[in-house]
């Protein structure tokens, strides 16, 4: 049953739910209305019975023989059979019938009721004949100092006819109202879900080749408009990711092809003619250099892929920051010495950070290597660490040519190099800062850049 229900369209399910809720609401309203009307009609009969009691009690008396008499006479003087709305009986306290006033002669009474069960006031219903119902009130009274129990009757035919007509109205109206609710619910659901249908139709046409398309969003303020905005944002991110993936694939193919081409070229040159041992050694050395560059490139690509996919698990530990920046300095000391550069280190003793040591060290190495590469000979590179308002800030500054504003955001992109004409030996592959950015962000931090053309650059690694 659940599977059959779930196979229905949301529009049909919404219509059925709407009709069911409307039917339940009408049924509850009908039941409450019936109870109220019945209570009001019964209360009105009871009120009339109380009035009848007061009128009848005042006209009862005992004759000289002790018989109970009613002093009201009919239009022609006949006693006891005047056309009255109320009927009554008078019973003694020990259960003997003293007087009966019904709209039929005594001999025609087919189903007399039993004597009152007590002398307390009570209201109830009874069926005198098949389909003939009356409302009764029993109440103690006194007639010339004699205690009696009076029973008064009121015909319920009109009340029951009114209730029956009310039920007929409800029975006829309920299906019509439910049908109208179902039709109205279907039209409302159809109109309300029209934006979803439109979005689905447009979404089916979007492929990897048309990610620039967007879903229509006539009203961004309502729920469907917010859903369309979320889908459009997702499509925008997918478009950006696909474009970045295509660019990455093209750049990676190009960067991989360069060392491979160099390897093949050097190998072909080495095989020509009859080279001596020295020439072969130079050829093999050149091939090893290209293989080394290729190995560095592949390792960088794999590191970047692991960072982006989240496969690189973090091993957080307490890292001594002064010790870490000394390790970075020792690793790059040879490169700095080749350019006669001086590296200044500054970090307060006892400064620590909870982080992944390997990932943080790799990020700082890439930034510092980039600073050494772009600083002039005899220049100075500074690596400072400090605690600033609850954050550990490691600052790496150089005296290079600086970075123009149009390049400051893009230098963290993969394979992006400011000077395309520089060789890979001088300018690298454009992956170092990308890896550093992903590493720091994976550690919950961020990289800030302060730079001006001709005044060097300052990278700030901010860690929690």
* Mean pLDDT, residues 398-422 taken together: 72
% of the chain beyond a pLDDT of 70: 78
Parallel/antiparallel/unpaired status of strands 87-92 and 97-101: antiparallel
**pLDDT(250) > 70:** no
CB 409 within 8 A of CB 430: no
Residue 75 CA to residue 77 CA, distance in Å, equals 6
Query: Which residue, among 104, 68, 101, has the nearest Cα to 86 in the 3D structure?
Result: 101
The pLDDT value given to residue 137: 92
* Mean pLDDT, residues 444-450 taken together: 88
The pLDDT value given to residue 299: 67
pLDDT tens digits for 294-303?
766 666 666 6
**pLDDT(419) > 70:** no
Cα 425 from chain centre: 53
Q: Positive or negative, the Cα torsion across 387, 393, 398, 400? A: negative
Cα 50 from chain centre: 62
Q: Calculate the average pLDDT of the chain.
A: 79
Which residue has tokens 């700030």? 460
**pLDDT(18) > 90:** no
**pLDDT(249) > 70:** no
The pLDDT value given to residue 81: 40
Domain boundaries, the chain: 10-163, 223-305, 313-463
Topology of 10-163 in CATH?
Beta-Lactamase (3.30.450)
Residue 69 CA to residue 61 CA, distance in Å, equals 5
Confidence of residue 435 (pLDDT cuts 50, 70, 90): confident
The pLDDT value given to residue 407: 76
**pLDDT(383) > 60:** yes
Look at domain 313-463 and name its CATH class: alpha beta
Q: How many CA atoms lie within 13 A of 137 on its CB side?
A: 24
Query: Which residue, among 395, 400, 411, 397, has the nearest Cα to 373 in the 3D structure?
Result: 400
Residue 138: CB atoms within 10 Å: 21
Residue 234 CA to residue 227 CA, distance in Å, equals 11
The pLDDT value given to residue 428: 56
Of 3.30.70.360, 1.10.287.130, 3.40.50.920, 3.40.1190.20, which CATH number belongs to 223-305?
1.10.287.130
Point out the least confidently predicted range of 102-116, 331-345, 448-462.
Answer: 102-116
The pLDDT value given to residue 163: 92
pLDDT tens digits for 131-173?
788 899 999 998 888 889 999 998 888 999 999 999 999 889 8
Residue 259 CA to residue 195 CA, distance in Å, equals 54
Query: Which residue, among 146, 131, 150, has the nearest Cα to 53 in the 3D structure?
Result: 150
The pLDDT value given to residue 37: 94
Give 146's contacts (C-beta < 8 A, 6+ positions apart).
62
Residue 184 three-state SS: helix
The pLDDT value given to residue 44: 93
Torsion of CA 371, 374, 380, 385, to 10 degrees: -10
Higher pLDDT, 395 or 223: 395
* Mean pLDDT, residues 62-72 taken together: 81
Cα 49 from chain centre: 61
* Phi, psi at 312, each rounded to 5°: -75, 110
Interhelix angle 277-309/223-271, rounded to 10 degrees, is: 170
């Amino acid at each position: 049953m659940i599977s059959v229900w779930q196979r229905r369209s949301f529009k049909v399910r919404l219509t059925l739910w709407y009709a069911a809720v409307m039917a339940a609401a009408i049924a509850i309203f009908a039941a409450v209305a019936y109870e109220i009307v019945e209570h009001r009609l019964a209360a009105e009969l009871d009120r009339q019975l109380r009035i009848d009691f007061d009128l009848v009690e005042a006209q009862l008396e005992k004759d000289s023989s002790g018989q109970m008499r009613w002093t009201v006479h009919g239009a022609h003087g006949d006693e006891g059979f005047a056309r009255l709305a109320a009927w009554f009986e008078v019973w003694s306290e020990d259960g003997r019938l003293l007087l009966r006033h019904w709209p039929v002669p005594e001999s025609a009474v087919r189903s007399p009721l039993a004597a009152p069960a007590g002398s307390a006031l009570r209201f109830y219903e009874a069926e005198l004949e098949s389909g003939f119902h009356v409302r009764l009130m029993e109440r103690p009274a006194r007639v010339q100092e004699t205690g009696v129990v009076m029973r008064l009757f009121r015909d319920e035919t009109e009340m029951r006819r009114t209730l029956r007509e009310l039920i007929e109205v409800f029975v006829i109206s309920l299906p019509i109202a439910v049908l109208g609710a179902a039709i109205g619910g279907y039209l409302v659901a159809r109109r309300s879900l029209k934006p979803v249908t439109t979005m689905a139709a447009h979404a089916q046409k979007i492929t990897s080749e048309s990610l620039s398309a967007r879903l229509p969003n006539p009203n961004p303020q309502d729920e469907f408009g917010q859903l369309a905005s979320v889908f459009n944002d997702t499509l925008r991110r997918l478009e950006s990711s696909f474009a970045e993936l295509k660019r990455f694939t093209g750049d990676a193919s190009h960067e991989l092809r360069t060392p491979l081409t160099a390897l093949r070229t050097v190998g072909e040159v080495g095989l020509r003619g009859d080279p001596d041992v020295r020439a072969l050694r130079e050829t093999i050395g050149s091939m090893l250099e290209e293989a080394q560059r290729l190995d560095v490139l592949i390792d960088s690509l794999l590191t970047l892929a692991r960072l982006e996919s989240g496969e690189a698990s973090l091993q957080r530990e307490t890292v001594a920051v002064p010790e870490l920046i000394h390790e970075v300095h020792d690793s790059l000391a040879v490169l700095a010495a080749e350019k006669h550069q001086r590296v200044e280190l500054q970090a307060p003793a006892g400064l620590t950070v909870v982080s992944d040591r390997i990932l943080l060290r790799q990020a700082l190495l890439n930034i510092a290597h980039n600073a050494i590469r772009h600083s002039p000979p005899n220049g100075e590179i500074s690596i400072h660490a400090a605690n600033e308002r609850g954050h550990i800030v490691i600052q790496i500054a150089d005296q290079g040519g600086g970075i123009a504003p149009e390049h400051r955001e893009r230098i963290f992109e993969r394979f992006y190099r400011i000077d395309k004409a520089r060789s890979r030996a001088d300018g690298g592959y454009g992956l170092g800062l990308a890896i550093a950015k992903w590493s720091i962000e994976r550690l919950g931090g961020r990289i800030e850049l302060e730079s001006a053309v001709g005044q060097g650059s300052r990278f700030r690694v901010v860690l929690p």
